[in-house]
Chains A and B, each alone.
Chain A
Amino acid sequence: MKYNITIIGAGIIGSSIAYCLSKYDCSILVVDKENDIANEVSMANSAIVHAGHDPEDGTLKALLNVEGNRMYPQLCEDIGARIRHVGAYTVMTSPEQQATMDALIKRAEERNIPYEVLTAEEARKEEPNLADDVIKVLSLPSTAIIIPWEVALKQMQVAVLNGTEVKLNCEVKAIRKNENGYVLETSQGEIETEYVINCAGLYADRIANMIAPLDIHTNPRRGEYFVLSHDAKDFVHHIVYPIPTDKGKGILAVPTVDENILLGPNAEETGSCEAINTTSSGLGYIRQELARSVKNVPFHHTIRTFAGLRPSISTKDFYIKKAEGEENFLNLLGIDSPGIASAPAIARYVDDLLKLPYEVKASYETKNPYRFNFQDLTPEEKDAYIKEHPAYGNIVCRCEQISEGEIIQSIHEVLGAHSIKSVKKRVRPGMGKCQGGFCQPLVLEILARELKVRPEDVLYDQIGSNVVLDWKGGNGNA
């Protein structure tokens, strides 16, 4: 198989790049070793579109974060992804932090980022759960939250409609050169390509080393989180950050798009790209550190804990460069935070850097056509819709109130859901309080029916993650 461009990695970066480049009249392939779009770093993070005041002057992070933040509203509008401009409160709790606070304000000023300094009293009116020793607050209203896998998926869907191909469960194992460009040796055979864009997240250093030795290594840093149920949705309405230290942004309280609360992340070097396990020490640290910025934390509403790994590198900045001596092989390394916030700007930067020799197509899509969201309807509209499409009246997930119709819809879209987890990422059954206790058996049944496979072949996520072993034909009287 031959392609003009191959993108390795279907995280938010690969998806943003595919969306941007799919305007060209050329063949594009995206490969990912996972069984769904955005299943690794882009699946487990704080989901914040940072304002851009945090990265140091002169860094790529500063440049692309600020630009990315400005691009997001239009992007989300175009692809039909949800974004909430909740704003951020950076809270100062001791006079020694004044210098850092001043530096942040100066950067916000210079980068044209809207901000406001609030007294503790003013801030408390909006956020009664700020810690008692908060003395001053830097408010950053352009800070927003999104759902990273939604933004990735919706961009990738447009790319596919523009002709991009996506191969999942396709791991790149080795790369060699030939007269036309490169040959990728993958778990699904060989792929020939003129250009390679390596945005393989945690594994981008390994991919880079397949073509030219590179003295930069990803050093996975784990961040763990608590997820609180909707019952805790009023705990904070803004993202609450402590004043950053040299260790990082600190422990945050983040409202999510779907009105949950995330608490975390810590930062711990793991030395392993697989260590997405949570630890009692990590979760304990979050409990303790959170008290610096907020009080009355409703930990009893925890419905889940999870961990993600940051693909960090020692320079601490994004590394976006062509491989040594290779005009057509681009490496993206160290895309840790603010990778999400910067994603659309990174894609544009990559486009500029590559100077691709292809024409822009006479017509191509920038808008995602899958816009129908049943949840947005009024009761009267829902009634009318259900009368035409009865499956939308059949509620499958009691906690998040997701209907059978929405699940079927997610299965039959381009890059549709095909596993329990991919349904959950697209329409949320199992994300609520019971974590799928009631609905997972029903979702399994719907998947089997719609995909015409046996229930025992339905996967939770990866190959090998089958949910039930075999069917014995029993029933309630077995």
Chain B
Amino acid sequence: MRKVQCVIIGGGSAGLAAAVELKKNGIDDLLILEKGPEPGGILNQCIHNGFGLHEFKEELSGPAYAERFADQAKELGIPIECNTTVTAFYPDKTIEVSNSSGYEIIQAEAVVLAMGCQERTAGQIQIPGMRPQGVYTAGTAQRYVNIDGYSIGKRVFILGSGDIGLIMARRMTLEGAKVLGIAELMPYSNGLQRNIVQCLKDYGIPLYLSHTVTNIEGFPRLNKVTITEVDANRRPIPGTEKVFEVDTLLLSVGLVPDNTLTVEAGIQLDPRTRGVEVNEYCESPMPGVFAAGNVLHVHDLVDYVTAEGRKAGRGAAKYLKGELKERGGFPTKAGNGVGYVLPQRVDYPKEDPTVEFSFRVRTPYKNAKIVVRDGDTVLKEIKKPALLPAEMEKVILPNNVLANIRNELTIEVKEAE
């Protein structure tokens, strides 16, 4: 059995950043395992610009952004095994690995989970109707079009205003297809504002807010979708149907962390993020197992994924050097208006000068106030002109504040007076 100090499962942005950070922190015995033919993960199919504004202060394409980190890993001599899939992961940190040269078991001391996410599918959102050909998730469509070079449809409708859907609306238009519109169940978009402007408005593609697809027709190929307006409880309002004759329906209805391996190893997931619960070093309840990127919670900006990967890498290095021992801190809590807070626990409140907390609001806010509390004691208040569920928010607290927290750290959102 091969022994490796730290195995990183997944060579996307999160895995690459974690590996580089581990190396920089003095851990040399590393291995990145990547299923795809090259590192980079989902970025390889995101050929549009818009990556790296925080990280490099410039706008790169997805592959270009990925390449910078892959190059860095290469320069540092970090081994990456591509076309290699982890098929099982056990609580004793043994890992089963399959590739065309064999099937192997690797014993690791620490593991970084960086498997990314999956798209929610038509089945998951239970669109009633037939199941014809011509219905694709937006990411799969993106792969067919951008990587494989196929055209997949001529008249397109899109359900869900997630970023991939918005980007595919533009992409399909540039490819010569007619995009008839996007329906979004919520009264607001789930995509980044800049994508709505650059991908829809600039091309005159209508966005139907508070609408959903209520019927799919045609067999074997899709020929019609019906969309219907929904009320405040997201129930379709009869009589508001609109019919579109299309041959293609793209779904951009959300991403879900890909935690199949994690669950099989017996690590429970947080039902809100559908990723593992972690502390401020991205360490799961199973000591020595870390998680970062879309496998932990779904991100909209790759720059944040990179930052989180580094955090996990640093944490794993500390763990391997025996610096993470006595846990003893406090839990965090998503208060009023907040969907989830990460990390779910702070275990070493005195270790670092600051800890960063990420969260998402449940619904859009204008003139809002973010309140951070320890029980009833308010620790911090931040005014914000606008908050959107599509955009991850961050709060940073210094260790002198963290060291004194007695109850749990709650983050909530209020309308500002």
Contact = CB atoms under 8 A, between A and B. Distances in A.
Contacts of B103: 379, 382-383, 386, 393
B326 interface: no
A398 B220 contact: no
Interface in A400-414: 401, 403
Given A279-B128, A456-B150, A478-B149, A395 B133 contact: no
A393 B263 CA distance: 23
A94 interface: no
Interface stretch (B151-159, B293-301, B336-344, B402-410): B151-159
Contact of B151 (A460, A462, A463, A468): A468
A445 B143 CA distance: 13
A390 B98 CA distance: 10
A283 B101 CA distance: 46
Contacts of A278: 126, 128-129
A202 to B, nearest CB: 15
A477 B47 contact: yes
Contacts of A401: 85, 87, 98
A302 interface: yes
A462 B220 contact: yes
Interface residues of A, number: 61
A469 B101 contact: no
Nearest to A477: B47
Interface stretch (A124-132, A158-166, A317-325, A433-441): A433-441
Contacts of B124: 302-304
Contact of B147 (A283, A382, A475): A475
A471 B147 CA distance: 11
A440 B263 CA distance: 24
A433 to B, nearest CB: 6
Nearest to B177: A469
Interface in A218-232: 226-227, 230-231
B218 to A, nearest CB: 10
B263 A231 contact: yes
A459 to B, nearest CB: 8
Interface string B130-145: 1111000101100111
A454 to B, nearest CB: 11
Contacts of A276: 130
A379 B121 contact: no
B150 A399 contact: no
B72 interface: no
A476 B129 contact: no
B113 to A, nearest CB: 14
Contact of A465 (B101, B148, B220, B260): B220
B61 to A, nearest CB: 9
Contacts of B47: 476-478
Nearest to B261: A398
A309 to B, nearest CB: 13
A382 B149 contact: no
A422 B146 CA distance: 26
B102 interface: yes
Contacts of B144: 441, 468
B212 to A, nearest CB: 11
Interface in B207-264: 219-221, 256, 258, 260, 263
Nearest to A397: B85
A476 B144 CA distance: 10
B137 A472 contact: no
A465 B150 contact: no
A467 interface: yes
Given A379-B105, A386-B102, A433-B260, A469 B126 contact: no
A77 B98 CA distance: 30
Nearest to A434: B118
A276 B128 CA distance: 11
Contact of A274 (B126, B137, B149, B219): B219
Nearest to B215: A277
B119 interface: yes
B99 interface: yes
Given A469-B150, A469-B154, A470-B151, A283 B98 contact: no
Interface in B70-125: 83, 85, 87, 96, 98-105, 118-119, 121-124
A474 B153 contact: no
B129 to A, nearest CB: 5
A394 B96 contact: no
Contacts of A434: 118-119, 121, 258
26 contacts: A226-B126, A227-B123, A283-B128, A302-B124, A303-B123, A383-B102, A386-B98, A386-B100, A386-B103, A391-B100, A393-B99, A393-B103, A394-B100, A398-B35, A399-B260, A435-B122, A435-B123, A437-B121, A437-B137, A441-B148, A462-B220, A465-B221, A466-B133, A468-B151, A469-B153, A473-B149
